Chains A and B, each alone.
Chain A
Amino acid sequence: MTVAAEVLVLAGAAFVAIAGIGVVRFGDLLSRMHAATKASTIAVVLLALGTVLGLDHGASEVLLAAALLFVTAPAGAHLVGRAAYRDEHIDVGLEGTDESPDAPRAPAASPGPAAGPEPEDEPDGVG
């Protein structure tokens, strides 16, 4: 086994550990998905390259599994993120105005004047 294979495998495992720490430490759902999906995708690619370099046979299976995860991990994260965005009970930690045409949630989706009380309109600093 070459040194390059060992370094690639170790880097991939380190990215999996970073993804886990991010999933534990981050505060809302989209931040956790940001940590988990991106770090897991690059980890799988690094680990597959390390395994291909480290093994004599079986490169096709490793590369097929890596390509499958490389395609399906962002697709699955997109499905989960869209479902959580459309669900009103999940706090996805959005700030500011929501410009999506789906407009799933009431307070952020409609910034028009008829939507509700606007605290920014009132004059502040009245002595």
Chain B
Amino acid sequence: MTTAALVLLLVGGACFTWRAVRGPSIADRLVAVDGLVVTIVAFVLVDAVRRSTDRFLGVALVIAFVGFLGTSAGARFIERRGGGR
């Protein structure tokens, strides 16, 4: 069952990566990278359930916080310099 969840997360991560590579604007790439952060956190949680260990849960916590910092920094970048291409 968790294998199916990992496959679904892989599909979502592939879609987010595709949009991050070919988003026409910087904001599209930013949204895609934010989705990738959520996908990685979800992957860590599913992997913790799969191994039935709580050893790697701090990774999810730190990645969630750093992902928000990256998103807000990217938004500031768009506001200061413009994000057309």
Contacts and interface: CB of A to CB of B under 8 A. Distances in A.
B72 to A, nearest CB: 5
Contacts of A61: 54, 57-58, 60-61
Contacts of A115: none
Given A20-B13, A51-B48, A83 B83 contact: yes
Q: A interface, by DSSP: helix, strand, loop or mixed?
A: helix
Contacts of B12: 13, 16-21
Contacts of B26: 90
Contacts of A29: 25, 27-28, 31
Interface residues of B, number: 55
Interface size class of A (residues with CB under 8 A): 35 or more
7 contacts: A1-B52, A9-B5, A9-B49, A10-B5, A47-B45, A48-B45, A62-B45
Interface of B: 1-2, 4-6, 8-9, 11-16, 18-19, 24-28, 30-32, 34-35, 38-39, 41-42, 45-46, 48-49, 52-54, 57-58, 60-61, 64-65, 67-68, 71-72, 74-76, 78-79, 82-85
